[in-house]
Structure 1
């Protein structure tokens, strides 16, 4: 049993929002309160740590990321460069260090940031035709590959486009090297996959990376291989990250046949919602819109689901106590998904089913007429504030006046919707303090635009912390054990030198914890306590 004393503790527990000491025993919070009271607790603490005025918060939750992709990204070639030439140079340098025949993986390119726009297959072939090269876009909704990668994947100029995806071709019908949406999965089938032991090792590195940001829980949206790796890591006694693991739509039948329901699992892994995609993304202009993209009169984006299909998936899921998590970026996609979920709520009520914890992932651009519907239908708004920093100029350029209802955090809050915040890592950094900064300021890190992009959508810090702690804990069925610091909860917490409530909002991206605790164990530290 040990005591953390002389701290500024924000508990996220409404009956006792702040305190100065916390007593921990066998991985749980035994008591919170005044130091003198806890020193006299029976039995008394055997270890006392004086935090000398430092701040304690509950461990943070990233409500939308991709663990295995993040692991790959940590070892990937950096393609998030200001110019295409810089990206190609990074690839060239990695090729020079890599044995022939081995895959070169890179991530982060965004053609909207490059003067020349998209890359092409010839540019990658000029670097190597003996290494398969595959580079994922920052959005993870597009890819760029060389001839060797296409060859190994069995994709040629006459290969039909997969359902919901596209192999881009030039005017002569030849592959350009660019793939969209589900087409990237077809190419990725050719990439050697790590076995469950290798995946567990990769995920161990990822959890250490996340601890350094004070993230102690996540809602993961990777695939089954990641699930196997997580189970292996837990069996090895090494998993110290609480994971709500989503079910890929293509794996739904396996889970239904096994009778597995949402929130089933262990102390560290719980089964989450079934993940569906209703559209693409803003970057490649595949997000489904009600009206065309600016300067592209024939482009409405890619709608991948109808309302009836959302309902059909949802009916199968809800009937078996599983929830839906539906990716929706564009205003048309959000409307279609809400139409399907509205029908699903009626179905649940008619059939006396327990209402599932359905959610929409991203809710990036939502028409004002649809704003009230999430709260009315009790749908979680799972959004990633950090995207705003990268997307504000693209949204203005491609969506024009519709950008006014993009990343509408305040409007969603005012509507009564429950906000849960994440990063979409590795699409963006997993650093939650950049996300907090974005929701507080709505500017880039250079402070532009000066008053904030659509500044009326700024949020206060209390709301933001709820979206990183108590709200995602509720969405995962973990309200009693994580998300707040209260007696009986798991001792998942972080220590900071600074008090976020007395820290300049325009410098929030500089915040970082000095220690992270999971289940009463210090799992990460940058500073040793005396």
Structure 2
């Protein structure tokens, strides 16, 4: 055999059969029984490790994820007062940033107030921090909480509560002080490197930015040699942001790693912010959530995307939002996905398959949000995070993290889809759990197992994932990771010898 290099003595999950794999021109060129043929070229002995397709994150916000690593962590806060204490403690350990009269803003992130006993209000922050700007970002990114100085910095001086949500908040978020472009790219490189060491080979980036241009710059400097599908926000849709490409087309000069992704729109908000749009009212209120786009507005955006040969990515969390999104896919014939699909009406489950709409889901959200769902979606949680129900209905599913809402680690998504009980400590709708094989398939762009002809996006594991419980899946050893046949992570004998 000639051409390419060999990865010898590997196994597929769930099988004892030993295989040798030839990699050539960025593709899995050949798979044969171990030692069945003579191997020309460089060889790496994998020692019987398990080979799976490279892991892919179908929904992430990379710049926000990278930047938030250095912000004050509020994820453990159990009340608004506790969150204030966490910010104060962090400020006390950084005296160089100044005291209460400092102009340097304190920025916290990842709070979840859905179960807090008191409402958010700027007064609580004003009393503690005075004129120093304080801004807190919710874990779901759909809400911001600030004191008087902070809300003025965000462009809303005199705001009555200091709490901004949804579109108003997204616009304000862009006013936050940001690291330099060079620093941001370095932070992104760091978090991508960590994810590659967990087997990540690609992602779809829904950052609020000109993503093609941003990732083209990063690739030019050699910082992020993974596959990136670059989404376009609907308000930014233009020839400049799409470069004349259609969804799935590769950006010229990117070595096939950068592609134009879908057009992103929002139909509703989020569960923790209580803006997810639902058929039923939220308990104790007259509200059903927030409608960002109605049928007519969403249908018109879909038609615009179709004229450009672009697919859609429709954010819909509540069941009414999912109904609206599916109605518009049916009305227009557009293709694409529904992002999140956290609560789906029984009558809508089968429509995903009929319409060819992908359910892009983030299993770790069920771990973070099951208690909030029990409170605000009481009596309906049997169809919340309905992984198995959608599989049974024939839907196409893709998993992701929604980083920074959850960590950029596909094994967490796989583990959460397989067994919630071992993570949260008790059963919670186990009927919606999946097999490891299905969870792995939804985390590898539908591949599941390595076959000849696939891109050589590969991961070598130290254990058979089919045999692991959820906690073991989260910590499974990743021996090596390759993108298009280039080993980005692994022992030097592999990274240095097999290009």
Q: TM-score, normalised by structure 1?
A: 0.84
Does residue 1:441 correspond to 2:419, yes or no?
A: yes
CA spacing shift, 1:35–1:258, aligned 2, 3 Å: closer
Given the alignment of the two structures, is residue 520 of structure 1 paired with residue 485 of structure 2, yes or no?
yes
The structural deviation recorded for 1:135 is: 1.5
Q: Report if aligned partners of 1:214, 1:516 keep a CA contact under 8 Å in 2.
A: yes
Aligned residue in 1 for 2:268: 279
Name 1:146's counterpart in structure 2: 147
Aligned pairs for 1:193-342 within 5 A: 193-194=178-179, 196-255=181-240, 258-266=243-251, 267-296=256-285, 298-342=286-330
Equivalent residue, structure 2, for 1:170: none
Distance 2:109 2:85 in 1: 14
Alpha-carbon distance in structure 2 between the residues aligned to 1:305 and 1:512? 43
Supply the RMSD in Å over aligned alpha carbons. 2.6
Counterpart position of 2:86: 90
Change (3 A) 1:512 1:227: farther
Residue 395 of structure 2, aligned match among 408, 417, 424: 417
Shift of residue 117, structure 1, vs aligned partner: 3.4
Alpha-carbon separation, structure 2, partners of 1:32 and 1:405: 41
What does residue 55 of structure 1 align with?
Answer: 50
Q: Distance in 2 between matches of 1:148 and 1:228?
A: 34
Are 1:459 and 2:437 an aligned pair? no
Is 1:500 matched with 2:468? no
Aligned length: 481
Match of 1:156 in 2: 157
Are the aligned partners of 2:343 and 2:385 in contact in 1 as well (CA < 8 Å)? yes
**Contact 2:329/2:335 (<8 A) preserved:** no
Gapped regions of structure 1 (runs ≥ 5): 158-173, 346-355, 474-482
Distance 2:223 2:129 in 1: 39
Show the counterpart of 1:480. Answer: none
Q: Which runs of 5+ in 2 are unaligned?
A: none
Which residue of the other structure, out of 444, 450, 455, is the alignment partner of 1:469?
444
- Written as runs of structure 1 = structure 2, the 5 A alignment for 1:353-372 is 357-372=335-350
Q: CA deviation at 1:19?
A: 5.3
Distance 1:463 1:155, change over 3 A: same
Separation in 1, partners of 2:139, 2:425? 23
Output one character per residue of 1:243-297: Cα deviation in whole Å (capped at 9) or x when no partner. Answer: 111101111134588533211223111111110000011112111111212333x
Measure, in 1, the Cα distance between the counterparts of 2:422 and 2:149: 38
Deviation at 1:435, TM superposition (A): 1.6
Distance in 2 (CA, whole Å) between partners of 1:469 and 1:58 is 6
Structure 1 runs (4+) deviating above 6 angstroms are 526-530
Q: TM-score, normalised by structure 2?
A: 0.89
Do 1:360 and 1:379's aligned partners in 2 also have CA atoms closer than 8 Å? yes
Kindly indicate whether residue 60 of structure 2 is the aligned counterpart of residue 71 of structure 1: no
Q: Which residue of 1 aligns with 2:364?
A: 386
* Structure-1 separation of matches of 2:415 and 2:364: 8
Counterpart contact for 2:358–2:396, Cα < 8 Å? yes
2:7 is paired with a residue whose SS is strand
Note if 1:33 corresponds to 2:32.
yes
Kept after mapping to 1: 8 A contact 2:135/2:151: no
Hey, what's the Cα distance between the residues in 2 that align with 1:500 and 1:484? 12
Instruction: Find the aligned partners of 1:61 and 1:277 in 2 and give their Cα distance.
Output: 23
| Residue 403 (1) aligns with residue 381 (2) | yes
1:54 match: secondary structure: strand
8 Å CA contact 2:211, 2:231 repeated in 1: no
Q: CA deviation at 1:367?
A: 0.7
Shift in Å at residue 10 of structure 1? 4.6
**What secondary structure sits across from 1:29 in the alignment?**
strand
Q: 1:444, 1:177 → 2: CA distance?
A: 39
* SS of 1:53 mapped into structure 2: strand
